[in-house]
């Protein structure tokens, strides 16, 4: 397994992150208190060991926006990118994911290390 290191230089903030878990065919977010919600919308994600960590995406320029290195707590990762879940009745259904991460810059050829359905992978360069 190839690990990717944090290429960023800015100090890391302690940000809210969620474990992303597949339960009963739907993706869930689990916070630090164990509270579970069905995933919806866009998240950034990192795979650190066996855990898939995520944080809600916010548009650039909005305060509180987390980055990949912050949700990984600076650790090396097996993969990093952006993940998109459905909304409404498709809440919790994984729509697609990619390798978009400026901090880790994972190579698309290692996408299988994310542990996500490879048929839903879309390399960032092709977006």
Q: pLDDT of 29-87, one tens digit each?
A: 999 999 999 999 999 999 999 999 999 986 655 556 789 999 999 999 999 999 999 99
Q: Indicate the domain borders of the chain.
A: 18-115
In the predicted model, what is the mean pLDDT of residues 5-34?
Answer: 93
Cα R_g (the chain), whole angstroms:
14
Indicate the length of the chain as a whole number. Answer: 127
For the chain, the straight-line distance linking the first and the last C-alpha, in angstroms and rounded, comes to 26
pTM, full prediction: 0.91
- Cα separation, 114 vs 62, whole angstroms: 27
Which residues make Cβ contacts (< 8 Å) with residue 54, sequence separation at least 6? 17, 18, 19, 20, 29, 39, 43, 44, 45, 46, 71, 83
- Tell me the sheet residues that pair with 41: 85
pLDDT in tens, 91-111: 999 999 999 998 999 999 999
What band does 124 get if pLDDT is binned at 50, 70 and 90?
Answer: confident
């Amino acid at each position: 397994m190839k690990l990717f290191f944090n290429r960023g230089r800015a100090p890391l903030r302690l940000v809210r992150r969620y474990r992303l878990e597949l339960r009963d065919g739907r993706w869930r977010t689990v916070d630090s208190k164990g509270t579970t919600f069905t995933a919806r919308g866009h998240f950034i994600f990192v795979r650190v060991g066996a855990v898939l960590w995520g944080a809600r995406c916010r548009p650039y320029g909005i305060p509180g926006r987390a980055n990949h290195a912050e949700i990984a707590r600076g650790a090396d990762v097996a993969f990093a990118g952006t993940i998109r879940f459905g909304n409404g009745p498709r809440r919790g259904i994984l729509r697609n994911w990619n390798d978009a991460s400026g901090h880790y810059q994972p190579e698309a050829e290692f996408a299988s290390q994310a542990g996500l359905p490879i048929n839903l992978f879309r390399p960032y360069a092709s977006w």
